Structure 1
């Protein structure tokens, strides 16, 4: 059985609903499951489904997910092959030092200084200990410390994100980060807490399956309406929890720019993002067409 997945914004489930209506109208013969995925943005929806044995319940072996992409011109079909979305390990670091007056730092254990050292060392490990062509990305997205000019705080908290496309690199880096933080504890004689907040695996699209979908797409849309090159996304996608247990997986995107030759300047996760709702028509047509043809092969 094939699963067709729609995720994120309101425009997305509209596409899947339209595709399912078309499939019913044309009396599709093969088995298809439409998944209106909840809690995608917080990385919990797909994992909950897997914990409930969703795939085995419906005997699902193949999956097609679709995003809407405002930075592609209207109706443009985007896709990925192989490594497409990075894994994401989100973790917290809490440094418990000893507060002191800003004029007498020698009386305390400055957690801000330690946070700076941690920031530099973790970035150095990513830059120098793993192959740069494996695309490992580390970011510190928040450092929360004191709020006075003359007081060194007791505690500093850091929010961090590690993204990789390679499981070996991810495991290596997570282990090295742990070693660094435990070493910093000993060096500075403070308590450092390391807590993994959430994890999303990487998403790998099946090249042969994607090629099959592209060949099918060429039968109903012009060739110039298909991206010439596969995309590699820097972000993460919680559909990866489902994808890792499927035999065939494709992650596609449909352009929602203002017209067929122009993309919008802003994309997802930007407060200025716009979506052309005409993209719904293109998405419905492609999803129903793929499901109708692929299900016949199962």
Structure 2
């Protein structure tokens, strides 16, 4: 698909604009206003305010099905280390996950589709706030996303370091893991550090518990099950010569299957209850369910595969790719509506810095491919009544 050079250049300029003014989750006020302004100039119906800063642009073009295309908008609380003309102007904020590129690609597709209209049906473009840890997708759904904008299917695309530029990866099942968090409070008896026998040390119990939790994936689950348990915070004590009364552990759990997720929660609870007792310490746990598994619907994933092969070629489509143990709140949308989620390669000749790195920068050379994928997906899933349909998609 040949896209106008002017469109690609404009999309890159939008990307740089968003990158220079990054906003954190539920604070994307400038970003959402700019998106709404652009969509209105393209001729879209624009609805603002879902989840506070969310934007939905609708383009109707005759009878047919209805699909949604989603881009996330929020930045991360990271101090950028890049020195670019478009580097972040806000200290401690940066687009370190490529959401600036996601918005630019979807806006580029919006402009092109509004001009060409080689489709029949309805497009809803969903610009979602607060993907990073704050579950903006869930909030949009709670605010009526699929009630106000019914869709036959919805699709999400994310740039992906480790995958070459111009390549696409997806599968017909789990793409990203679930995300749960836990907080464990260990309560013992404080005492002088020189007289540990007079107390009950919660730090020793914490150390043993941290190590013991790692045996859950290694020894309590099947080797065929995937789970990651990470203790990421440990806080205790105020004085160097005092054994504290209390220690607090915090961490995350990632799983790819619901039954494994349930099993891991149960096992962590058992460890927290029983292991500290041998040290005279009481353990209590608060476990919080977060993002579900990002689970593609097989038939819609197959349609994305066909579209990707038309755009980038069969040799550049990685079908059946292994899922990531990172998490993505597009999972909430796929639990509420059929659809699929896929990755777009980010690596040039040299590997891209990882997502969430202070040195990450979205690859502008991938913008054309991203726009082409969105346009082709819309045109193939909403075929124009006058367009030759000699190569139908699998049902």
Judge same fold: TM > 0.5, yes or no.
yes
Q: Does 1:125 align with 2:216?
A: yes
Distance 2:368 2:71 in 1: 14
2:293 paired residue number: 202
Structure 1 residue 265, shift from structure 2 partner: 4.2
| CA separation of 1:3 and 1:228: change in aligned 2, threshold 3 A | closer
2:199 paired residue number: 108
Q: How does 1:82-231 map to 2 (within 5 A)?
A: 82-146=173-237, 148-184=239-275, 186-227=277-318, 229-231=320-322
Distance 2:72 2:167 in 1: 18
Q: How does 1:2-81 map to 2 (within 5 A)?
A: 2-7=67-72, 9-27=99-117, 28-81=119-172
1:289 paired residue number: 376
Judge conservation of contact 2:165–2:366 (CA < 8 Å) in 1: yes
Structure 1 residue 226, shift from structure 2 partner: 2.3
Look up the SS of the partner of 2:166 in the other structure.
coil
Look up the SS of the partner of 2:164 in the other structure.
coil
Look up the SS of the partner of 2:382 in the other structure.
helix
Judge conservation of contact 2:209–2:276 (CA < 8 Å) in 1: no
Structure 1 residue 75, shift from structure 2 partner: 2.1
Distance 2:319 2:69 in 1: 24
Q: What is the RMSD computed on CA atoms of the aligned residues?
A: 2.2
Structure 1 residue 263, shift from structure 2 partner: 4.9
Structure 1 residue 218, shift from structure 2 partner: 2.3
Judge conservation of contact 1:264–1:274 (CA < 8 Å) in 2: no
Structure 1 residue 101, shift from structure 2 partner: 1.6
The match for 2:361 among 269, 274, 285 is 274
Moved more, 193-202 or 42-51: 193-202
Listed as ranges, the gaps of 5+ residues in structure 2 are 1-65, 74-98, 384-392
Judge conservation of contact 2:201–2:279 (CA < 8 Å) in 1: no
Distance 2:262 2:382 in 1: 37
State the number of aligned residues: 294
Distance 2:320 2:264 in 1: 30
Structure 1 residue 129, shift from structure 2 partner: 1.8
Structure 1 residue 151, shift from structure 2 partner: 2.2
Distance 2:293 2:134 in 1: 12
Distance 1:275 1:52 in 2: 30
1:20-69 CA deviation, whole Å, 9 max, x = no partner?
A: 11221122321121111110011420110222232232122312100012
1:255 paired residue number: 345
Judge conservation of contact 2:166–2:312 (CA < 8 Å) in 1: no
Listed as ranges, the gaps of 5+ residues in structure 1 are none
Distance 2:215 2:164 in 1: 39
Distance 1:59 1:129 in 2: 43
Structure 1 residue 243, shift from structure 2 partner: 0.6
| CA separation of 1:263 and 1:75: change in aligned 2, threshold 3 A | farther
Distance 2:289 2:266 in 1: 16
Structure 1 residue 185, shift from structure 2 partner: 5.6
Judge conservation of contact 2:305–2:319 (CA < 8 Å) in 1: no
Distance 1:132 1:147 in 2: 41
Judge conservation of contact 2:176–2:328 (CA < 8 Å) in 1: yes
Look up the SS of the partner of 2:376 in the other structure.
helix
Which protein has greater RCO, CA pairs closer than 8 Å, 6+ apart?
Answer: 1
Distance 2:303 2:211 in 1: 45
Judge conservation of contact 2:178–2:292 (CA < 8 Å) in 1: yes
| CA separation of 1:226 and 1:263: change in aligned 2, threshold 3 A | farther
Structure 1 residue 148, shift from structure 2 partner: 4.5
Judge conservation of contact 1:112–1:145 (CA < 8 Å) in 2: yes
Judge conservation of contact 2:128–2:140 (CA < 8 Å) in 1: no
